[in-house]
Structure 1
Amino acid sequence: MPPTVQRRPLTDQAAELLRARIVSGEWEVGSKLPGETTLAAELGIGRSTIREAVRTLAGLGMLESRQGAGVFLRSITPPDQWPRVLEAEAILHVVEVRNAVELEAARLAALRRDASDIDALRRALDGRSAAAHAGDAAFVDADIAVHRAVVLAAHNPVLSELFETFVPRLRAALLELIGVLDLRSEQQPDADEHRQLVDAIEAGDADAAVRISRAHLDGLADALLAQLPG
């Protein structure tokens, strides 16, 4: 009985399980894989998840989808970049959530900030700069402190609670991001964008705050997408 998917994200798990079955020699190169319905039943997941997993492996050159014919095995050899692809996709999920939380936080912060919020934002920026040479973990913590200060300046307790719940996953993703994109804290990645965001909040320019925050997150997403094959 083939193993079933038990942990999230389901698409990554399904892709990894399919890859393991390919590497084990379950199917010969050039052969047709079972249909979506069969694979979904074997793995205990939905057809849409299987479809995304097949798309991932097709992007890696291991599978080939032929319209009207099905999915065929192209290569058994797992690519060297497989762990990197999974990391990039997982971090992209976090970036999507950051868009949902941080864009609204930036907008509200520009509308509701007070003098103490601006002081806190400036201190957080200084802390981020000071941590530039202190190693990845220290830099990530200082970076999160800036975003936390933005959220607090929004003066929405529910938004703050949501952000704090999300922080552990955010921290893990940022640490992974430094490795995936070969960033190093001493380069102070995106320092100017963070400073511009704080300037926009201080000026009460909600549109600029949202635009700067979106550009920052879109830049991360684009860089991660560039890591994915196809």
Structure 2
Amino acid sequence: MSLGALRPSPLVEQATDHLREQITGGAWPVGTKLPGETALAKSLGVGRSTVREALRALAGAGLVRSRQGSGVFVIATRPRQDWSTQLRQAAVADVYEVRMLVEVEAARLAARRRTDEDIAVLQEALAGRRAAAHAGDAEFVGADIALHAGVVDAAHNPVLTGLFTEFVPVLQQGLLDLVELLGLRADPEYGDESHAAMVDAVVRGDADAAARELRDELTRTLALLNSL
């Protein structure tokens, strides 16, 4: 099978793309043993080192696997998606359901673990959200997310912080759409009371109240998302 000679640069990326197309296009079904490095290099018009790097990239995408002494075999015809890609493609409501699980527990932990510095950050973030109530949609959504991020950070759990950070791009766009579609900014004080109650619960160290306030707030937003 001739795959077509490649342009000089960037060779590894081009080789990877050509081989991926063969796999995802069905030319090499699952279980197929790929031609050897020498044969692939000759067909593609590149060196063996370039082929080796391309195969490594395909292995990283979950498409092929090397079996020592046997060769390289196709194990899937669709690339494995990383976590960030899955989040970008997920429905906002689905992301919100997972967000609730993460943030509600984060709020509970924050109430138990918050430091004086965390309290100052939360109070400043709440003031920032209030100040942004009369600004543009993007500024308001950014201030809202910053407050929630402050609660997650106060939990002092790097895994929770990492998960929330992954959610932020999807949440930001979803909230912007929600604000615009439902005209939530008609009330500049929207959500202020519930957010203030959440911050107060964290500051007081009331874990149950902090979790409850945040759960109720996110549940209301999720209901709005599901109504679209």
Tell me which interval the TM-score lies in, with the shorter structure as reference length. 0.5 to 0.7
CA distance in structure 2 between the partners assigned to 1:176 and 1:94 by the alignment: 15
- What's the TM-score, normalizing by structure 2? 0.58
Give the structure 2 partner of residue 205 of structure 1. Answer: 206
Q: Output the amino acid matched with 2:215.
A: R
Flag the structure with larger Rg: 2
Q: Output the amino acid matched with 1:104.
A: E
SS of the residue 1:125 aligns to = helix
CA distance in structure 2 between the partners assigned to 1:217 and 1:178 by the alignment: 14
1:136-155 to 2 correspondences below 5 Å? 136-155=137-156
The question of 1:115 aligning with 2:116 is answered yes
The question of 1:175 aligning with 2:179 is answered no
2:95·2:167 contact (CA, 8 Å) conserved in 1? no
SS of the residue 1:184 aligns to = helix
Deviations 1:46-70 (A, max 9, x none): xxxxxxxxxxxxxxxxxxxxxxxxx
Deviation at 1:189, TM superposition (A): 1.6
CA distance in structure 2 between the partners assigned to 1:186 and 1:145 by the alignment: 20
The unaligned stretches of length 5 or more in structure 2 are: 1-89
Q: Output the amino acid matched with 1:120.
A: V
Q: Greater RCO between the two (CA within 8 Å, min separation 6)?
A: 1
159 and 125 in structure 1: CA distance in 2 versus 1, 3 angstrom threshold: same
Deviations 1:202-227 (A, max 9, x none): 11111001111111111112233334
The unaligned stretches of length 5 or more in structure 1 are: 1-88
CA distance in structure 2 between the partners assigned to 1:97 and 1:175 by the alignment: 19
The question of 1:127 aligning with 2:128 is answered yes
Deviation at 1:146, TM superposition (A): 0.2
Give the structure 1 partner of residue 164 of structure 2. Answer: 163
Deviations 1:126-183 (A, max 9, x none): 1111111110000011001100100110001111111112111111111111023221
- What's the TM-score, normalizing by structure 1? 0.58
Tell me how many residue pairs correspond in the alignment: 142
2:125·2:150 contact (CA, 8 Å) conserved in 1? yes
